[in-house]
Structure 1
Amino acid sequence: MSADGSPEAAADTAIPNPHQDADTTARLQAAVDGAWRTPEDIARDPYRHPLETLEFFGLQPGQTVVEITPGSGWYAEILAPFLYEDGNYIAAVVDPQTLAEGRGRDYQQRSKDTLEAKFAAAPLQFDRANMVAYDPAAPVFGSPGTADVVLTFRNVHNWRKAGQAQGMFDAFFAVLKPGGTLGVVEHRAVGDVADDDDSGYVGQDQVIALAEAAGFTLDASSEINANPLDTKDHPNGVWTLPPGNNHEPVDNAKYQTIGESDRMTLRFKKTG
């Protein structure tokens, strides 16, 4: 295990997708540079590295791409326009009606409504985007073997805490075509953490184990989204850091200097 919590054997396996070409890179760059993106979202590009991350995951025109719980749509603003002409972008959101009444259902309803409003407000980018609502207790993201790529950004910690992580990875495997890609970005802990850990960080080996238990093979890892300044011992976990900034105002300069969290970037394949 390396000092930052990543497996030694995977430290130098940032293998680019062999099918990536200059035209695809230019098309991805055009989506990243889209005038429809907000200044607040663009300001996060130096931390989230969208072009490099999507190139690493091997995004191609014409693919069917499922993004799991896209939140307010940070990556949707790039993925849906990139796939607009000849692909299929699917936002997989939690179905609020599958949850008990309370804060959880209300939160998921607001998230779903916000994303639907974003899509409706920009038809030139989003009127071909699709949405599937799933039950977290029994997730299904589409017909089996229909997706080329499944992507998830900073979600695994929530699923582990809710006891849903393995079911989610199993469902990723089910919806992907043979040879399909699962791309995972997640806050990286120093080592393994308990299931009920509330820091927001997860051990890289733990994420790999979830994927392998579902049938995936680790194809490559990348340090694209690494941040060696992140000490991972903050009073309010990852939410202490930007963009959450859950800290005392006096500490603002300290946490702005650190920036966003250290993140693993993993590419898995559905082999066979």
Structure 2
Amino acid sequence: MLIRVGQAGCSLRWDAARQCWRWPDPVGSQLYAWPAPPAMPSGSRMLESACVMASCSSGRLLVGQGKRLGMLTLPQPGQPSRPLQAQVLITIDAAEPRTRISDGCADRDGNFVFGTANAAQDQRPIGSFYQYSQRHGLRRLALPAVAGATSIAFSPDGRRMYFADAARGAILHCDYDAERAKVSGTKTFSELLAPGAGAAVVDSAGQLWSVQGGVLVQYDASGHALRQIALAREAVASVCFGGAGLDQLLMLGAQGGLYGLPPDLAKGQAAGLADTLFIDCGSASSSELRA
């Protein structure tokens, strides 16, 4: 364990610009960074809790807060700490009070792809998947309705999208056209090894790392499970590659612990892929989008 802060963990991301991992605490309404950037606090209070986020081409953070996507401006080094308030961009499915944003990440072209979950006890499949961009706005992806959208990730070339329903027993994948927000050819990638699909990430070798029932499962590109990794103290909530060479795989625990792989497990492991920056200002080249 590297550090433990807050009360809960959900979405873990690597901020390449400031060389730190970031994650929101949805219970304590905090945004944490480790290691803390110079002259900046390790935690900042948010006026509204967030569950998903992505770094932006402007240096801001795109966050999912309940039913809304918003934009956070991070404090500059040396500025006094004050609560962070997101600028609301769009409200998702405003006529349906039961849904909330549950998972999301930027695709390889700088759009934000996310999904919603049914927060009510009935757990009916009323959640959807969307693509959001400043160029095209909000576009719904033609994927099956789910009780809880999760496991959203993309292949290295960006043409394959992985996703799952937290209430179902499989990870799915489909062909993905980012420019047209079109999906096709949905197939089962792999059956879950443990109930409850969670966060997922793809490495540079095309292997999928999937959180299932609080355990991290590594798959090869064909969907064959290679190994399972469990934390001794808490369930795994999220996973992310980072570090200068994207060769560090960290796991965020459900109770706020941040963990690294032991050297014997990390040896020989493929490096990760840089998160693509969400395009939130002007135009950007493909090289500028890599975080």
**Structure possessing the higher relative contact order (Cα contacts under 8 Å, 6 or more residues apart):** 1
Larger strand fraction of residues: 2
Query: Quick check: which one's helix share is greater?
Result: 1
TM-score normalised by length of structure 1: 0.30
Provide the TM-score with structure 2 as the length reference: 0.28
